[in-house]
Homo-oligomer: A and B are copies of this chain.
Amino acid sequence: MSSTEARRSIATVCLSGTLEDKLTAAARAGFDGVEIFENDLVASSWPAKEIGEHCAELGLSIDLYQPFRDFEAVPPDVLARNLRRAELKFDVMAALGADTMLVCSSVSPDAVDDDDLAAEQLHLLADRAAARGIRIAYEALAWGRFVNTYEHSWRIVRRAAHPALGLCLDSFHILSRGSDPAAIRTIPGEKLFFLQLADAPRLQMDVLQWSRHHRLFPGQGAFDLTAFTGHVLAAGYRGPLSLEVFNDVFRQADPAPAAVDAMRSLLVLQESLGGTDLPPAPALAGPAFVELAVDDTAEPELAKALHGLGFAETGHHRSKPVRLWQQGDARILLNGSAPAGGASVGAVAVESADPAGSARRAQRLLAPILPRGHRADEADLSAIAAPDGTSVFFCRTAGESWLGDFTVTSAPGPSAGVTGIDHLALTQPFDHFDEAALFYRAVLGLAPEPVTEFAAPFGLVRSRTVADPSGRVRVALESALLRRGDWAPGVREPQRITLSTVDALASARRMRELGAPLLEIPANYYDDLDARLAPPLLPELREQSVLYDRDEHGELLHFCTVVLGGRVFFEVVQRVGGYAGDGAVNAPVRMAAQRRARAA
């Protein structure tokens, strides 16, 4: 079976809300089935039969009922109680129409370390189950008292030798312990009853806490789920690919986008396994433009700032209140049709080798396609919405270009040395950080760099950059580590448009002459810089309020404007050698300075 034929399922525990909320979200995102998490059923006012009927109406099969805990390898009196408990759950499953039950390896103090006894009792349970048309999928919890590896659970299942008893494999339980999953290939496919997929960041912590709080959807963490799932499919597994992700954030996030995020993770996992008909991501060749939505107050403020930065207004749109500002290859559109709310990044356009192909892929990956009003003689740009609401356009600037929609009003003016757009930094809502990284990776084919963290004046900030292989399309995703309360003034952290120059000091000097609203950096920063890195040209950096960093590859000189229109600012960077980062070490100083400038 190729992986694309596999059915896709999700455990209800992945999503927030009541069982009704969860089922609706799963169905809308296109899942074929669900695992019913017992606690969700217990809290529901719908009887099991109605839940089953409701799932059928939604087009969802019930692929698993879970979890049944602490069953095996117990004394006779406990066994009798456990069998009674199981029979009552079989009643629920019959009403639901679920035919597979997950049994987790025991953590009970009642259990003994005896594989023969475990196999014998699981055989008995499988017999009872088979009489009801039910199968038992036995799973080794990573923290199981005696059984905590898939090899061990397989030894017991093999010993029990009952056709209604097989294995449930969970990628988290196996990969979190560092087990080699290759031996899964040696297990007969018909004994693999169920496959649960979860990714996770590499954390040095108690595995139970890691599992219950920090799982992620495939592709959002550090596990190699392509290799893992490959082993399971190679063994002959024919069941669904099912997500079981316990995550503190998803548990309280809107289930509709969370379910879409989940589905997207499975589609991309299946693509990585080959044999998919998902259109590949066309190559990208840098940002074509950034469009700022500006209201009446913000528009003149932004126009003045762009002038100060050496940009010239070179055209206006033929049918919309949009002005084109240009310097080198950097193009900024000011769109004056925005409602009140200052300024914000409304859209990012990327140069695609095949804009229509990019849009087709995006649609298949459940990205919302944005309706675009345009006249017959105007360019038809394909646009989708990123998780934070930013529009992403796919376009070509050369040839039959979107530039044709603009009337040229003037030639570029006296430049201040800006050559293009280096990258963007977009602040993500707290609950959409991991979703955003997966979106840009899946839909645009950008590669995520490692997550970094720094202490900003009002709390910790997480940052992750996604970039195409050439490094020409780079988006830094930033988010507060914890959702902020009333105290923190940076609830809506500003968005950044970073421009390139080949001479930061010269650009800064020229921009000051032109009246750019550049940010003043305090003397303490330069005293510390002297102590830490003793950079060349320190007096000039100090005089021009240019920030500095160095890594093993090269240097970064960068400076910023104050925050404009309440939400955006420009940064200008000069990269010397192969400096790889974005100067995050200087972000707290920059943020404190912007806060002062705003207060002033």
Q: Mark A395-420, 1 if CB is under 8 A from B, else 0.
A: 00000000000000000000000000
A249 within 8 A of B: yes
Q: Which of B89, B249, B531 contacts A88 (CB 8 A)?
A: B531
Q: In the complex, what's the smallest C-beta–C-beta distance from A91 to chain B, in angstroms?
A: 8
Mask, A176-219, CB within 8 Å of B = 1, is: 00000000000000000000000000011110010001000000
One of B41, B252, B520 near A460 (C-beta < 8 A): B252
Quick check: is A224 within 8 A (CB to CB) of the other chain?
no
Taking CB atoms, residues of chain B closer than 8 Å to A255 are: 487
Complex partner residue of A16 from B204, B249, B458, CB under 8 angstroms = B458
From the candidates B43, B209, B252, name the one contacting A204 in the complex (CB within 8 A). B209
Among B213, B252, B459, B528, which residue has its beta carbon within 8 angstroms of that of A42? B528
**Inter-subunit contact A522/B588 (CB<8 Å):** no
- Say how far A550's CB is from chain B's closest CB, in angstroms: 14
A16-B488 CB under 8 A given contacts A47-B523, A85-B531, A204-B209: yes
Known contacts A88-B530, A248-B459, A532-B85; A485 and B486 CB within 8 A of each other: no
B459 touches A38 (CB 8 A): no
Q: Indicate whether A368 reaches chain B with its CB closer than 8 angstroms.
A: no
* Complex: A80 Cα to B452 Cα, angstroms: 31
Residues of chain B lying within 8 A (CB to CB) of residue A579: none
Distance of A78 from chain B, by nearest CB (Å): 13
How many copies are assembled? 2
Contact, CB under 8 Å: B524 / A39: no
Which residue of chain B lies nearest to A82 when distances are taken between CB atoms in the complex?
B531
For A337, what are the chain B residues with a Cβ–Cβ distance below 8 Å? none
- Which one of A261-269, A274-282, A310-318, A592-600 contacts B? A592-600
Choose from B91, B204, B205, B482 the contact partner of A249 (Cβ within 8 Å).
B482
Determine how close the nearest CB of chain B comes to the CB of A280; give it in whole angstroms: 34
B-chain residues with CB within 8 Å of residue A297 when the two chains form the complex: none
- From residue A97, how far is it (CB to closest CB) to chain B in Å? 15
Residues of B within 8 A of A89 (CB): 531
A539 to chain B, nearest CB (A): 15
**What residues on B are CB-neighbors of A18 within 8 Å?**
457, 592, 595-596
A39-B588, A204-B206, A527-B92 given as contacts; is B251 within 8 A of A459 (CB)?
yes
A328 within 8 A of B: no
Report if A431 contacts B (CB, 8 A).
yes
8 Å CB interface, A562-600 against B: 588-589, 591-593, 595-596
A524 touches B488 (CB 8 A): no
Q: Which residues between 422 and 454 of chain A lie within 8 Å of chain B, taking CB atoms?
A: 429-431
Question: Does A227 reach chain B (CB closer than 8 Å)?
Answer: no
A374 within 8 A of B: no
A45 to chain B, nearest CB (A): 4
CB of A503 closer than 8 Å to a CB of B: no
How far is the CB of A221 from the nearest CB of chain B, in Å? 16
Q: A81: nearest residue on chain B (CB-CB)?
A: B534
Contact at B483–A43, with CB atoms within 8 Å? no
Contact of A252 among B38, B459, B523, B589 (CB under 8 A): B459
Residue of B nearest to A43 (CB): B592
Contact for A485 among B48, B253, B534, CB less than 8 A: B253
Q: Chain B residues with Cβ under 8 A from A363's Cβ? A: none
Which of A485, A531, A592 counts the most chain B CB atoms within 10 A?
A531
Q: Decide: A42 near B482, CB < 8 A? Known: A88-B531, A89-B531.
A: no
Bound CA span A48–B528, Å: 12
Q: Which residues of A come within 8 Å of B, CB atoms?
A: 16-18, 38-39, 41-48, 84-85, 88-89, 91-92, 203-206, 209, 213, 248-249, 251-255, 429-431, 455, 457-460, 480-488, 520, 522-525, 527-528, 530-532, 534, 588-589, 591-593, 595-596
Given contacts A42-B524, A42-B589, A92-B524, 15 further A-B pairs with CB under 8 A are A16-B458, A17-B487, A18-B592, A18-B595, A39-B588, A42-B528, A43-B457, A45-B592, A45-B596, A48-B524, A204-B206, A248-B460, A251-B460, A482-B482, A483-B484
Contact sample, A vs B, 22 pairs, CB 8 Å cutoff: A16-B487, A17-B457, A17-B458, A17-B487, A18-B457, A18-B592, A18-B596, A41-B524, A43-B457, A43-B593, A44-B524, A45-B522, A84-B534, A85-B531, A88-B530, A89-B531, A203-B205, A251-B458, A252-B460, A252-B484, A252-B485, A482-B483
